[in-house]
A and B are shown apart, each in its own frame.
Chain A
């Protein structure tokens, strides 16, 4: 019985919390935050996989994480532009008539 890697637990917690936030939160910006938390859980999983490879950190998951971060940030940035538009319109209609 080895002691679990604290970062493995953190990765699992990030995945679980991101999932929870995505399901529970209704505010579009909060959903984007939750998605990013989930994404960070995935990235940490990949980094752990890379680190556990015998013979040094595996560069392929690292490259995957780098690609993933850029994709996540660009998609989030686009999402934020949509959130600004969405809430501006919702505001005109006095809000609250969505969902």
Chain B
């Protein structure tokens, strides 16, 4: 197995090297996506199936699609490299030397690092029964360190606002025109893959309570379903969002905050769940989070305030 790990690690390094130095921007993006595949594999090897799922769905999957679509939307995307050459040779050498030194130091440190036995994580594993779910990562995300997760939902919301304010939608509002490039395959893809993605996404959210999965992985897959619909022209960007869509966007963060504030007088601490109700509250929060994540990621992809079904 060490040989397998070695080849895997070597491939990751080669891919990362090509990704940052590729002569062609498109090549860099392709290599980045493939590197995502390899990373997910290596994380699976490192006993982190949750993270392999997240990398597959968010890191390589959705981000890869977004990178490709953005590249295609760039004006004159073929001559990006001519217009933006890398830094001068002297800078490159200096940066190269500095980064090699940095890498060697980090490698030496990581080689010598010995985490100790009474880490916070051991504590988390030991008190799992109090957390309400069997899956340790979910317990940390939604109970022990739920505050981080809550703030992270705020990050997602603000990133969305920022993307909207740039006003460069990937899915423009104009009426859908059939420009004759519709392949007969497109309806098939839309009707086959959307339900599959929805099903798998919902399953992953629910599975998060007892096995790998959770709101983020599931939400990303659900968002992927929306992306397929947009790509296949079944959904379209809209300049305005209805109240329902905005409600879904903030559902996760709002339910989270309100639940937390409600616990303040009841249990004496923000987000301290009352014993006995921990599991149902966490599942409810998880589904709300997944919904908001799915809608946010979809709108981050389209870059529009809302989406609508095109009129035909």
Binding site for B on A (CB under 8 A): 3-21, 23-30, 33-34, 36-37, 40, 43-45, 47-67, 69-71, 73-78, 80-85, 87-88, 90-91, 95-96, 99
Mostly helix, strand, loop or mixed at chain A's interface? Answer: helix
Pair B216/A95 contact, Cβ less than 8 Å: no
Binds A, one of B74-82, B185-193, B194-202, B237-245: B74-82
The answer for the CA separation of A65 and B53 in the assembled complex, in Å, is: 12
User: Nearest chain-B residue to A94 (Cβ)?
Assistant: B83
Which residues in window 21-59 of B have CB below 8 A to A? 21, 25, 28-29, 32, 35, 39, 42-43, 45-48, 50-51, 54-55, 58-59
Residues of B within 8 A of A8 (CB): 107, 110-111
Pair B19/A20 contact, Cβ less than 8 Å: no
Residues of B within 8 A of A96 (CB): 83
Pair A67/B148 contact, Cβ less than 8 Å: yes
Pair B21/A21 contact, Cβ less than 8 Å: yes
B261 within 8 A of A: no
Query: What count of chain B residues pass the 8 Å CB interface test?
Result: 101
Residues of B within 8 A of A64 (CB): 148
Residues of A within 8 A of B51 (CB): 43, 47, 62, 65-66, 69
25 contacts across the A-B interface (CB closer than 8 A):
A6-B6, A6-B9, A11-B106, A13-B13, A13-B107, A14-B12, A17-B19, A30-B20, A36-B63, A52-B115, A53-B119, A60-B119, A62-B50, A62-B137, A66-B51, A67-B152, A69-B51, A71-B152, A74-B155, A75-B155, A76-B63, A77-B159, A78-B300, A85-B166, A85-B168
Q: Assess A19 versus B12: contact at CB under 8 Å? Given A12-B107, A25-B86, A87-B75.
A: no
Residues of B within 8 A of A40 (CB): 16, 35, 39, 59
Which residue of A7, A58, A88 contacts B121 across the interface (Cβ within 8 Å)?
A58
Q: Assess A58 versus B70: contact at CB under 8 Å? Given A6-B9, A74-B155.
A: no
Binds A, one of B90-98, B173-181, B265-273, B276-284: B90-98
Pair A19/B145 contact, Cβ less than 8 Å: no
Mostly helix, strand, loop or mixed at chain B's interface? Answer: helix
The answer for the CA separation of A22 and B270 in the assembled complex, in Å, is: 40
The answer for the CA separation of A26 and B140 in the assembled complex, in Å, is: 39
Residues of A within 8 A of B203 (CB): none
Residues of A within 8 A of B145 (CB): 60, 63
A-B pairs, top 3 by smallest CB distance, nearest first, are A16-B103, A58-B121, A21-B20
Shortest C-beta distance, B125 to chain A (Å), equals 6
